[in-house]
């Protein structure tokens, strides 16, 4: 199957040229052949008719004298002709052919007038003219004349014409190849420019435009491309502006909320400590306010962290640390030591940003405890590759590509107070990418989610 616009154009043009050349050459050859043969047969028939009218006596005896047969044969013979004259009894031939070489159908027709037929005898083309000679009063005599006119010269001429037409067709095909190459370049050049511009636009260069030349369909396509590119550039610029404003707003709001939330946290901590001595309803309300205040504080901190990531101001402070100690400190300080199993070689040391790697592990383990089930296992091997596995039901396969999206919740029915901020996994992935790595997610064969952190050594 032919693929590619240039190949299809080339094939279509060549097929059209071949078809038109073959059609013209075929029609031309047929017309020339008809004209050549018509001229040859007209010449033989007219000359035969006139010669017989001049040479044959008005009255023929019975039997016809042999001298009359010879006179008729000599009058019609030519260098390229053989004449056979017969009265049914005697036959005179001027060559190697005789009456037996005449087609039977032509013999029968010759009784009614002068007829002809083209035949091939002994590998050579011949025109055979046959007629029954009539007397002066119009009566049919017993004298029959057969004229064998060689068509070898006409056949040679036609062969020459055929070879000339084939050569002309070859030259036409060669010219078609050249024209196709030139036409293909002229047509495909603007398409290639459009292709390069489209790839550049897709790569993010929104200022890409193509030069418009002429007023044909390709120029219309180029103008449409430029208009689309300009519209896209404006739309993307506006989206980026609005996104930047939204990020700035979130960062500003989060920053402004830190101070009042810190004060609220201090107050709710006191209320939480005294909740046992308060009336039941008041104590329950105090505990609820304290929990929600801590959650609000976590959300604000996560928003600030993700804002720094978006702004590109986050930097790594790398240090070589023992991985097992770093992970155990992470889970111990958060009170997860009894729910998390750390299984990694104590001698394994890694070069990471300890604070940011702590955030990665904390978010992954916290997510496993919140949405999965303990115990959570953390394993590692050189490379650096760390796996966090839980004993829960796992994550539905259709949701796996979305787990690192911001504010994504696998269970939309979960109330706001039952889940995290929705930013933890996104922050973990951003910190892994800041290290030049990434986090993959999947499900273990026996159930439970598996998060794999890969950071180049």
Chain-centre distance of CA 185, in angstroms?
20
- Single out the residue in 310, 338, 368 at which a domain terminates: 310
Give the CATH number of the domain where residue 52 resides. Answer: 3.30.450.20
**Residues making up the chain, counted from first to last:** 457
Residue 395 and residue 277 share a domain: no
The pLDDT value recorded for residue 222 is 85
Give the CATH number of the domain where residue 295 resides. Answer: 1.10.287.130
Q: Which residue has the tokens 């037409």?
A: 165
Whether residue 329 lies inside any domain: the answer is yes
| Residue 158 to residue 124: CA distance in whole angstroms | 14
The pLDDT value recorded for residue 427 is 87
Residue 285 and residue 362 share a domain: no
Whether residue 199 lies inside any domain: the answer is no
In whole angstroms, how far apart are CA 172 and each of 15, 201, 361? Answer: 12, 43, 75
Could you give the residue ranges of the DSSP H alpha helices within 312-423? 323-333, 354-371
Whether residue 339 lies inside any domain: the answer is yes
Whether residue 366 lies inside any domain: the answer is yes
Q: Which domain holds residue 253?
A: 237-310
The pLDDT value recorded for residue 202 is 83
For the chain, what is the domain count? 3
- Single out the residue in 310, 327, 360 at which a domain terminates: 310
Residue 327 and residue 258 share a domain: no
Instruction: Locate 264 and state its tokens.
Output: 């609220």
Whether residue 227 lies inside any domain: the answer is no
Residue 346 and residue 301 share a domain: no
Asked if residues 410 and 395 have their Cβ atoms less than 8 Å apart, the reply is yes
Residue 283 and residue 333 share a domain: no
Residue 121 and residue 41 share a domain: yes
The pLDDT value recorded for residue 411 is 60
Give the CATH number of the domain where residue 337 resides. Answer: 3.30.565.10
Q: Which residue has the tokens 């604000």?
A: 300
Please list, in sequence order, all residues whose beta carbon lies within 8 angstroms of the beta carbon of residue 407, skipping any fewer than 6 positions away. Answer: 421, 422, 423
Residue 444 and residue 322 share a domain: yes
What radius of gyration do the chain's Cα atoms show?
52
Structure-derived torsion over alpha carbons of residues 57, 63, 67, 72, reported in degrees to the nearest 10: 50
Residue 65 and residue 128 share a domain: yes
Asked if residues 132 and 121 have their Cβ atoms less than 8 Å apart, the reply is no
Is residue 135 classed as helix, strand or coil in its secondary structure?
Answer: coil
Residue 334 and residue 297 share a domain: no
Strand partners, 378: 342, 388
Q: Give exposure, 74-87, as e/b (b: 16+ Cβ within 10 Å).
A: ebbeeeebbbbbbb
The pLDDT value recorded for residue 421 is 65
Whether residue 369 lies inside any domain: the answer is yes
Asked if residues 246 and 307 have their Cβ atoms less than 8 Å apart, the reply is no
Whether residue 166 lies inside any domain: the answer is no
Residue 340 and residue 262 share a domain: no
Residue 145 and residue 248 share a domain: no
Whether residue 41 lies inside any domain: the answer is yes
- Single out the residue in 137, 160, 183 at which a domain terminates: 160
The pLDDT value recorded for residue 325 is 92
Residue 107 and residue 138 share a domain: yes
CA angle 311, 315, 321 (to 5 degrees): 150
Residue-by-residue pLDDT tens, the chain, 457 positions: 556 666 777 777 778 888 888 888 889 889 998 999 999 999 999 998 888 888 877 666 667 788 888 888 889 888 889 999 988 788 889 988 888 899 999 988 888 889 999 999 988 999 999 998 876 666 667 789 999 999 999 999 999 998 988 888 888 888 888 887 777 777 777 778 888 888 888 888 888 888 887 777 778 888 888 888 889 888 888 888 877 776 676 667 666 777 787 787 787 777 777 777 778 777 788 788 877 777 777 777 777 777 777 767 778 889 999 999 999 999 998 889 999 999 998 889 999 999 889 999 999 999 899 888 889 999 998 888 999 999 888 888 888 888 888 877 766 545 444 555 678 888 889 889 989 999 999 998 888 899 999 998 7
| Residue 278 to residue 443: CA distance in whole angstroms | 46
């Amino acid at each position: 199957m032919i693929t590619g616009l240039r190949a299809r154009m080339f094939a279509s043009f060549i097929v059209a040229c071949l078809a038109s050349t073959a059609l013209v050459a075929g029609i031309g050859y047929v017309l020339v052949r008809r004209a050549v043969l018509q001229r040859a047969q007209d010449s033989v028939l007219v000359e035969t008719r006139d010669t017989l009218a001049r040479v044959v006596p008005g009255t023929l005896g019975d039997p016809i004298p042999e001298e009359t047969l010879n006179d008729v044969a000599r009058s019609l013979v030519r260098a390229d002709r053989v004449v056979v004259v017969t009265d049914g009894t005697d036959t005179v031939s001027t060559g190697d052919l005789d009456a037996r070489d005449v087609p039977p159908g032509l013999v029968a027709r010759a009784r009614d007038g002068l007829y002809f037929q083209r035949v091939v005898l002994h590998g050579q083309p011949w025109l055979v003219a046959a007629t029954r000679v009539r007397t002066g009063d119009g009566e049919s005599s017993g004298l029959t004349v057969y004229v064998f006119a060689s068509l070898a010269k006409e056949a040679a001429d036609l062969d020459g014409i055929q070879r000339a037409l084939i050569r002309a067709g070859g030259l036409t095909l060669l010219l078609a190849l050249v024209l196709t190459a030139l036409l293909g370049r002229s047509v495909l050049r603007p398409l290639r420019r459009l292709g390069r511009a489209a790839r550049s636009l897709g790569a993010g260069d929104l200022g890409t435009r193509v030069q418009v030349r002429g007023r044909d369909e390709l120029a219309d396509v180029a103008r449409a491309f430029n208009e689309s590119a300009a519209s896209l550039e404006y739309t993307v610029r506006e989206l980026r502006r609005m996104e930047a404003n939204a990020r700035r707003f979130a960062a500003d709001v989060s920053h402004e909320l830190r101070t009042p939330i810190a004060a609220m946290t201090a107050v709710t901590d006191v209320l939480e400590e005294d909740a046992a001595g308060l009336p039941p309803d008041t104590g329950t309300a105090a505990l609820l306010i304290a929990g929600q205040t801590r959650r609000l504080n976590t959300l604000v901190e996560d928003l600030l962290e993700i804002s720094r990531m978006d702004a590109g101001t986050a930097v790594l402070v790398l240090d070589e640390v023992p991985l097992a100690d770093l992970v155990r400190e992470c889970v111990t300080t958060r009170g997860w030591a009894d729910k998390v199993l750390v299984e990694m070689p104590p001698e394994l040391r890694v070069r990471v940003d300890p604070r940011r790697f702590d955030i990665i592990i904390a978010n992954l383990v916290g997510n496993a405890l919140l949405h999965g089930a303990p115990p959570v296992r953390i394993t590692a091997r050189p490379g650096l590759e760390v796996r966090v596995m839980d004993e829960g039901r796992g994550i539905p396969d259709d949701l796996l590509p979305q787990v690192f999206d911001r504010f994504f919740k696998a269970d939309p029915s979960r109330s706001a107070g039952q889940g995290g901020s929705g930013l933890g996994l996104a922050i973990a992935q951003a910190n892994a990418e800041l290290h030049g790595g990434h986090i993959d997610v999947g499900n273990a064969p026996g159930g439970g989610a598996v998060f794999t952190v890969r950071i180049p050594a």
